[in-house]
């Protein structure tokens, strides 16, 4: 019986083993033969440390070619890869360890729990003396390949279990939808502990035998330097706003890039349009989740509509329930089957007919393009009336001097919740909250206009650039409430 994900990650590279798999500017270069060899050696090293098929291997370490090889090694050994955000605190790591119960932790610092531990450097050194050939452990499509813990959760962690079949389907679907070939050079500046950086960006390149330019993280200077030799860039909206502020980000620098893609957070229409003006290229926005990988995408060939995330990808079904905007529910081979050891969540997170409840609110336009208008938990109910934050944010974002905004509901003794906004000013602008409210009233019904508008230097964001509305509520919550 084969190992479907290992085959996906290795077969294309074996067609041209001397092809550059990955290079680091002013640093090392790996070929596909190197990836095959090092992942085989590391798979042997994992087995020597007692890792068995189905065991979890938790990894919290910096971005490098070696950690990508470790991921492939886990797949080959039949282990379940558990990447952890490098910013996690000791308490957060301990919570994940207690939940996932890994048989090995690979990290720079020993964990507080008594679990077998090694550093990535130690594992790599141990692997060097081992065989460069490895018989991949047989796996079925339904077998777990990775567990990713969802961001923004409170209480007990929720680990989304992604199977071999989930990841294989997603990689093949995305590579085809976005036209990836072995001729592509992907500029990779995303974290490898997140779906976007690993299962979207890296997988699209690896599974088609393309090359990657790997940056440790997003640095505008380094991105601009690498763009002329790249054909694809994937990023989050913050990356593009920072590039737009860089004087060297021009159409000449970007002329060889066939695809700029953005995700993990909504992009302002103004940013979308400015990138097009500067580069001549239209950003491709798409929509996905930790639990599902990608669900929808603006087309590679066809109209890309700012403010939308495109129609469902081939093989993926998306439906809206309970009105328009409606709650977004999805099904397809990309959708995970459940959370790690949380069977009680099946009835709350899935519908009786097996569709996953994303928690997002959306609507389809006349062409079948999906627009995400917010999270259902972020829906503001004020005086018994529903207010969708995205609608209010779109109006505020278009007002003079406003760079961006975020809208939440805060407790109110009269209305239940009060629509409350935070805005960030453009450089050199001074914002008057009452004037903003007056201008917003020209475009919104009175009940949708924020009762209060706060001017902040920046909005709180997570590692992928998504606004953290829970933190924002804490910031804006009046004391004593």
Q: What are 427-452's pLDDT values in tens digits?
A: 999 999 999 999 999 988 888 999 99
Residue 217 counted as domain residue: no
Question: Between β-strands 117-118 and 104-107, what pairing exists: parallel, antiparallel or unpaired?
Answer: parallel
Query: At residue 354, what are phi and psi to the nearest 5 degrees?
Result: 90, 10
Q: What are 304-313's pLDDT values in tens digits?
A: 999 999 999 9
Query: At residue 233, what are phi and psi to the nearest 5 degrees?
Result: -130, 130
Whole-angstrom Cα Rg for the chain: 23
Q: Contact at 8 Å (CB) between 317 and 295?
A: no
Owner of token pair 């640093």: 27
Q: Is the pLDDT of residue 223 over 80?
A: yes
Mean pLDDT of the chain: 93
Report the pLDDT value the prediction gives residue 343, as an integer from 0 to 100. 93
Q: Is the pLDDT of residue 80 over 60?
A: yes
Reference 266, options 346, 367, 353, 378; nearest CA is: 378
Q: What's the total number of domains in the chain?
A: 2
Q: For the chain, give the percent of residues with pLDDT over 70.
A: 98
Report the pLDDT value the prediction gives residue 133, as an integer from 0 to 100. 97
Report the pLDDT value the prediction gives residue 477, as an integer from 0 to 100. 83
Please give the structure tokens belonging to residue 438: 């007056």
pLDDT band at 89 (very low <50, low <70, confident <90, very high): confident
CATH number at residue 16: 3.40.50.12780
Q: Contact at 8 Å (CB) between 262 and 235?
A: yes
Reference 420, options 393, 459, 439, 383; nearest CA is: 393
Please give the structure tokens belonging to residue 16: 């041209």
Residue 62 counted as domain residue: yes
Query: Helices 65-77 and 120-127 sit at what angle, rounded to 10 degrees?
Result: 70
Residue 45 counted as domain residue: yes
Query: At residue 324, what are phi and psi to the nearest 5 degrees?
Result: -135, 120
Report the pLDDT value the prediction gives residue 154, as an integer from 0 to 100. 42
Q: Is the pLDDT of residue 397 over 80?
A: yes
Instruction: Say which range, 42-51, 221-230, 462-471, has the weakest mean pLDDT.
Output: 462-471
Among 155, 177, 199, the domain boundary falls at 177
Query: Helices 32-48 and 4-14 sit at what angle, rounded to 10 degrees?
Result: 150
Distances (CA, A) of 36 to 30, 102, 144: 10, 25, 22
Reference 117, options 67, 60, 52, 198; nearest CA is: 60
pLDDT band at 465 (very low <50, low <70, confident <90, very high): confident
* 159 exposure class (CB count in 10 Å sphere: 0-12, 13-18, 19+): buried
Q: Contact at 8 Å (CB) between 211 and 20?
A: yes
Question: What is the C-alpha separation between 223 and 235, in angstroms, rounded?
Answer: 11
Among 148, 177, 206, the domain boundary falls at 177
Question: What is the C-alpha separation between 139 and 53, in angstroms, rounded?
Answer: 9
Domain carrying residue 444: 379-476
Question: What is the C-alpha separation between 403 and 194, in angstroms, rounded?
Answer: 27
In the chain, what's the furthest Cα-to-Cα distance?
A: 71
276: left (phi over 0), alpha (psi -120 to 50) or beta: alpha
CA trace torsion 159, 162, 167, 170 (10° rounding):
-70
Read off the DSSP letter of residue 377: G
Reference 196, options 263, 296, 295; nearest CA is: 263
Beta bridge partners of 358: none
Among 125, 152, 177, the domain boundary falls at 177
Reference 476, options 418, 392, 420; nearest CA is: 420
Report the pLDDT value the prediction gives residue 1, as an integer from 0 to 100. 61
CATH number at residue 414: 3.30.300.30
* 461 exposure class (CB count in 10 Å sphere: 0-12, 13-18, 19+): middle
What is the pLDDT averaged over residues 243-269? 93
């Amino acid at each position: 019986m084969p190992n479907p994900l290992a085959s996906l990650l290795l077969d294309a590279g074996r067609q041209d083993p001397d092809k550059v798999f990955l290079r680091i500017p002013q640093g090392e270069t790996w070929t596909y033969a190197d990836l095959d060899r090092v992942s085989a050696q590391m798979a042997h090293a994992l087995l020597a440390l007692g890792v068995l098929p189905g065991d979890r291997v938790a990894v919290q370490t910096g971005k490098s070619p070696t950690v990508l090889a470790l991921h492939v090694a886990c797949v080959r050994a039949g282990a379940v890869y558990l990447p952890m955000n490098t910013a996690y605190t000791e308490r957060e790591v301990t919570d994940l360890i207690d939940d996932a119960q890994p048989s090995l932790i690979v990290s720079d610092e020993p964990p507080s729990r008594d679990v077998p531990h090694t550093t990535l450097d130690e594992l790599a050194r141990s692997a060097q003396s081992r065989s460069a050939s490895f018989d991949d452990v047989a796996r079925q499509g339904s077998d777990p390949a990775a567990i990713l813990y969802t961001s923004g959760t409170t209480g007990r962690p929720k680990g989304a279990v992604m199977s071999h079949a989930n990841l294989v389907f997603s990689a093949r679907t995305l590579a085809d939808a976005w036209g990836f070939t072995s001729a592509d050079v992907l500029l990779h500046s995303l974290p490898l502990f997140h779906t976007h950086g690993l299962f979207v960006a890296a997988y699209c390149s690896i599974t088609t035998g393309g090359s990657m330019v790997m940056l440790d993280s997003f640095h505008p200077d380094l991105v601009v330097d690498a763009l002329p030799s790249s054909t694809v860039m994937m990023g989050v909206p913050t990356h593009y706003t920072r590039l737009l502020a860089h004087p060297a980000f021009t159409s000449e620098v970007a002329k060889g890039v066939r695809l700029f893609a953005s995700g993990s957070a909504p992009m302002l229409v103004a940013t979308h349009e400015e990138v097009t003006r500067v580069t001549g290229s239209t950003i491709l926005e798409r929509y996905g989740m930790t639990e599902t990988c990608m669900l929808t995408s603006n087309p590679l060939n066809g109209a890309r509509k700012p403010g939308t995330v495109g129609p469902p990808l081939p093989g993926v079904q998306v439906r809206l329930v309970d009105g328009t905007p409606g709650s977004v529910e999805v099904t397809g081979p990309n959708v995970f089957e459940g959370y790690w050891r949380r069977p009680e969540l099946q009835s709350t997170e899935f519908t009786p007919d097996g569709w996953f409840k994303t928690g997002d609110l959306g609507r389809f336009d006349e062409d079948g393009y999906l627009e995400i208008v917010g999270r259902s938990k972020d829906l503001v109910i004020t005086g018994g009336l529903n207010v969708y934050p995205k609608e209010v944010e779109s109006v505020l974002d278009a007002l003079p001097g406003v760079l961006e905004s975020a809208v939440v509901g805060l407790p109110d003794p009269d209305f239940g919740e009060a629509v409350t906004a935070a805005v960030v000013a453009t450089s050199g602008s001074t914002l008057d909250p009452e004037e903003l409210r007056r201008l917003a009233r020209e475009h919104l019904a009175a009940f949708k206009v924020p009762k209060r508008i706060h001017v902040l230097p920046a909005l709180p964001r997570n590692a992928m650039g998504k606004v953290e509305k829970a933190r924002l509520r804490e910031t804006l919550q009046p004391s004593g409430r």
